[in-house]
Amino acid sequence: MTLKKYLLAPGPVPVPPQALNAMAAPIIHHRSPDFVELFSHVKEDLRWLYQTELPVLILAATGTGGMEGSVTNFLSPGDKALVVNGGKFGERWTKICKAYGIQVTEIKCAWGESVDVNQIEAALKADPTLKAVYMQASETSTGAAHDVKAVADLTRNRETLCVVDAITALGVVDLPMDTWGIDLLISGSQKAFMLPPGLAFVGVSEKAWRFNQTATCPRFYFDFAKEKKALEGNQTAYTPAVSLIVGLGEVLKIMRGEGLENVFARHTRLAHATREGMKAAGLTLFPKGTPSSAVTAVNAPDGVDSQDIYKTLRTKYGVTAAGGQDHLKGKIFRIAHLGYADTFDTIIAIAAVEMAITTLGGKVNLGAGVKRAQELLLVK
């Protein structure tokens, strides 16, 4: 029998049948009335999810395209930016900024730690010319989360933008864009949006649009002003990923039906059960800072390479998780619990980890993690 597959990586994630069926329907033309009507609904549902009164841009790109556009559309070569670098994707902000001639000051925190907001405040006070703070809400590479609200509080009354990569956080935790004063909020389709890769979303504040008027970084495809104008007519500036937008309409309906508070509560519950299950199995968690509700990073037990755990999960038990990146390769593995995930995805993940480590001869309390997760996830 062919091994049944379980996708439990932090993106891409499984896609709900409703969205798969919708995307399999005959394609519609992107300038037709059918598309305009669909797009008008999607546009409003995105504002609901982002908790903003302003339009959310939809780009045919991965989340990195949204990140790049959030530099080029609001800064000019020679401008100064502050980057929170606490992992692989914090590093990406620095690389994008430097590619466009932005002067970067980095606040480095050890991988797995959350940024000390006092350091950001000190940096902003020391240099009032900093045009933006670039950060992650959830650092996917480490399983740690940063305090977005605290950073937005610091930039709200400054001529400094708060730019947040929420690619594995939006739709997982509460990030009320307007209430908190987040200036740019970026997400991607393959995470909590429960779709294949290929769409990026960017919420833009009025303050950020002011910065856009004077920004001189080169740009063409990722021209947010053109996208904003097209959005007014329920269109995109260039050819959109039509099938993905059809699927987007379906997943946003699903999320609206569940309700925002319930969506957040489900992710919190699954994340807590995963962390507690791993600890009950005798494993230790990697993050020393605030843990992400999207993905749990776990240290490999003594004598076991985490890449072997990752490979065994996939080849012997059909579970695709994620390994460590860069210097964490071989040391940690990551289990996701975001998007189209429920109680039994968590049970499967913990059971598979216990079995894989046992298969490799590692020390684990077989069955204890599953038992603990079951206790926490019981419907009472």
pLDDT tens digit sequence for 7-45: 999 999 999 999 999 999 999 999 999 999 999 999 999
Residue 2's pLDDT band (cuts 50, 70, 90) = confident
Residue 213's pLDDT band (cuts 50, 70, 90) = very high
Exposure on the CB side of residue 152, measured as CA atoms within 13 A: 21
End-to-end CA, the chain:
37
Alpha helices of 24-109 — where are they, by DSSP H? 33-50, 63-72, 88-99
**CA 16 to CA 77: how far, in whole Å?**
43
**CA 188 to CA 371: how far, in whole Å?**
34
Statement: residue 373 has pLDDT above 90? yes
**CA 65 to CA 67: how far, in whole Å?**
5
What is the percentage of the chain residues whose pLDDT exceeds 70? Answer: 100
What are the structural domains, with CATH classification, of the chain?
Answer: 17-258 (3.40.640.10), 259-377 (3.90.1150.10)
What would the mean pLDDT of 356-378 be, rounded to a whole number?
Answer: 97
pLDDT tens digit sequence for 91-150: 999 999 999 999 999 999 999 999 999 999 999 999 999 999 999 999 999 999 999 999
What mean pLDDT value characterizes the chain? Answer: 97
Residue given tokens 């790109």 in the structure block: 61
Residue given tokens 């962390």 in the structure block: 275
Q: Which pTM was predicted?
A: 0.97
How far is C-alpha 48 from the chain's CA centre? 18
pLDDT tens digit sequence for 192-212: 999 999 999 999 999 999 999
